[in-house]
Amino acid sequence: MLGLAVPICALAAVAASGSLAPSARLVSSGELGSRTLSPDGKALFAVVKGRGAWELAAWDLKNGSKTALASGPGDAGFFASPDGSLLVLVSGTCRQEPFDLDLATWDMPRKLRSPLLKLSGLHWGSFSFGFSSDSGVLTVADGSTTTLHLWRREAAGKWNALAPVHWGAGPSRPALTFLAVAPGGEQVFLISRGLWAGNDVPWAVEKWDVASGTRLPFRVEVPDTTFPLFRMSTTRDGGTLCLQTIEGPTGIDAATGKRKYALTSRVAAVSVSRDGRVGAAIDGLLFREPEARATDTITFWNVSDGTGQRRLSVPGRAGASAGAFSADARYFVCAGGPESRRAYLIDVAAAKIRSSWAADATLEDFFLLSTGEIAAVGTERDAIVIYKITPP
């Protein structure tokens, strides 16, 4: 379904201006869904779709070899853990049928193992999952059985199942959207509707104690206008719960449920630094009238308390993904310009563009690699082009 042409080994040079040199170019003969890079930037993972079926595969970007990891009928997509070491694959035939959830280790293709964990019979709209901020705990909330499944990562990457938490009697298939796991996995935050009542009750964030399986005295109502959510996460210290929505990021005290801050500008994408300290919200093309200005406004803020807000404008659309922070959160790389074919290196503290480079593809996704580089993934007709940028 997806073939690899001869890899281009030269990396993008960091300069004040100029062009990005691709590090690899992939030729696609199928529709690509979810895609990401391995943490070391040596492998591409993607879901390839076609004729009512899907395949999850990995390509070694050095020699072009392909490893098929999973396949099946219907559709599929995946999500990566915060540290990029694991992916969760959700697949099924349609939204009315049970979905399967798979967890697979994320390594070089030849070292990848078969799925470590698998849950079947999950229903669309009544399950959610999330990782702790350190990627050490995976939690899956199954609303159809009111069960919370938990796994903890031990030494050598082994995952051990913890005792399931049962909520008790409740309505069948309550609606669940997003889930966040507190550091250490002792507590779980859920956004649900109708967990204990009818669907006329508002969406709300609830907090559960994992050890006792009890709901804690914590409830924050979430207006319908805040949907869709991009995700919900906690800071590394567990003090702040951040809701990332199209209405703007909102910070909530994880202990009391009181609102700490709210960025009210409507955003199209949100990124948070690897250490969870700094966030970037981009207004994007999603909410722009055709005759409106051809710029994006990026807002940086301190995720824990909402302070330190800095704004700047970037020409053109920022792409499907907000971008990526450098490892030390001093720099942010995103796309802009006509058709998102220019990469911008932004000094976060100064909220200024320090460098920019032209690309021969539309830039869509950005990933921080374990090498400290930031990888940009773009599309050009039937090809996927990968660039690598090294922040100062």
Task: Check: CB of residue 331 under 8 Å from CB of residue 346.
Answer: yes
Q: Is the pLDDT of residue 5 over 50?
A: no
Q: Is residue 14 part of a domain?
A: no
Tell me which residue of 174, 171, 85 sits closest to 132, measured CA to CA: 85
Range of the domain at 294: 280-392
Q: What is the CB neighbour count within 10 angstroms for residue 142?
A: 22
25, 116, 341, 382, 384 from 68: Cα distances, Å: 19, 16, 31, 20, 18
Q: Is the pTM of this model over 0.85?
A: no
Looking at residue 364, which CATH number applies to its domain? Answer: 2.130.10.10
Q: Is residue 174 part of a domain?
A: no
**Report for 14-28, 315-329, 373-387: range of highest mean pLDDT:** 373-387
Measured CA to CA, the distance from residue 204 to residue 217 in angstroms comes to 13
Q: What local confidence, expressed as pLDDT, does residue 387 receive?
A: 94
Lowest mean pLDDT among 216-230, 258-272, 360-374: 216-230
Q: Is residue 242 part of a domain?
A: no
Q: Is residue 300 part of a domain?
A: yes
Sheet holding 250-253, edge to edge: 229-234, 240-245, 250-253, 259-262
Strands 383-389 and 24-28: antiparallel
Measured CA to CA, the distance from residue 50 to residue 108 in angstroms comes to 25
What residues form DSSP beta bridges with 312?
A: 298
Q: Is the pLDDT of residue 95 over 80?
A: no
Domains in the chain, number? 1
Q: Is residue 384 part of a domain?
A: yes
Q: Is residue 355 part of a domain?
A: yes
Q: Is residue 149 part of a domain?
A: no
Return contacts of 98-103, CB within 8 angstroms, 24+ apart. Answer: 98/122, 98/123, 99/123, 99/124, 99/127, 100/72, 101/127, 101/129, 101/140, 102/70, 103/138, 103/151, 103/159
Lowest mean pLDDT among 125-134, 223-232, 256-265, 296-305: 223-232
Report, as an integer, the average pLDDT of 217-227: 71
Measured CA to CA, the distance from residue 91 to residue 119 in angstroms comes to 11
Measured CA to CA, the distance from residue 364 to residue 342 in angstroms comes to 11
**Report for 11-25, 80-94, 362-376: range of highest mean pLDDT:** 362-376
Q: Is residue 390 part of a domain?
A: yes
Average model confidence (pLDDT) across the chain: 77
Measured CA to CA, the distance from residue 123 to residue 137 in angstroms comes to 22
